[in-house]
Structure 1
Amino acid sequence: MSEERSHGQGAAPGTAALPMREALITAALQLFLERGFEQTTVDDIVTLAGVGRRSFFRYFPSKEDVLFPDHERCLAEMTDFLSTGSHDDDPVGQVCDAARLVLRMYADSPTFSVHRYRLTKQVPGLRTHELSVVWRYERVLAGHLRERFTDRPDGTLRADVIAAAVVAAHNHALRSWLRSGGQGDVITSVDEALEFVTTSWGQGRVPTDAPPQELDDVMVVIAKRRVPMWRLVREIETTLDRD
Structure 2
Amino acid sequence: MSVRDRNRERVRQEIGVAARRLFARQGYGATTIEEVADEAGVSVRTVFRHFPRKEDLPFHRHASIRRRFAELLDADDGARPSLDVLADALWRAIDVDGSEEDGGVTFLGMLEREPELRRHEQALFGEHHDVVAGFLRGRLAGGPEGHAHAELLAGAFMGTVTASRGLVLLFPGEPPRAQLERAVDLLRPLPWP
Q: TM-score range by the shorter chain?
A: 0.7 to 0.9
Counterpart for residue 29 of structure 1: 20
Tell me, yes or no, if structure 1 residue 78 matches structure 2 residue 77.
Answer: no
SS of the residue 2:77 aligns to: coil
SS of the residue 1:150 aligns to: coil
With the length of structure 2 as denominator, give the TM-score of the two structures.
Answer: 0.76
Gaps of 5+ in 2: 1-9
Counterpart for residue 200 of structure 1: 190
1:40 to 23, 28, 31: 31
With the length of structure 1 as denominator, give the TM-score of the two structures.
Answer: 0.63
Q: Which has the larger radius of gyration?
A: 1
Deviation at 1:159, TM superposition (A): 0.7
Comparing both structures, which one devotes a greater share of its residues to helix?
A: 2
Tell me, yes or no, if structure 1 residue 146 matches structure 2 residue 137.
Answer: yes
Contact kept? 2:103, 2:176, Cα under 8 Å: no
Correspondences of 1:72-221 after superposition (within 5 Å): 72-104=63-95, 109-111=100-102, 113-151=104-142, 154-180=145-171, 182-202=172-192
Tell me, yes or no, if structure 1 residue 52 matches structure 2 residue 43.
Answer: yes
Identity rate, percent: 23
Gaps of 5+ in 1: 1-18, 204-243
Bigger RCO of structures 1 and 2 (CA < 8 A, at least 6 apart): 2
Given the superposition, is the C-alpha separation of residues 170 and 67 from structure 1 closer, same or farther in structure 2, using an over 3 Å criterion? same
Instruction: Determine the C-alpha separation between the residues in 2 that align with 1:136 and 1:21.
Output: 20
Given the superposition, is the C-alpha separation of residues 22 and 91 from structure 1 closer, same or farther in structure 2, using an over 3 Å criterion? closer
Structure 1: which amino acid aligns with 2:63? E
Instruction: Determine the C-alpha separation between the residues in 2 that align with 1:39 and 1:57.
Output: 18
State how many pairs are aligned.
184
Contact kept? 1:113, 1:178, Cα under 8 Å: no
Structure 2: which amino acid aligns with 1:201? P
CA deviations over 1:183-206 (Å, ceiling 9, x no partner): 212223322322332343235xxx
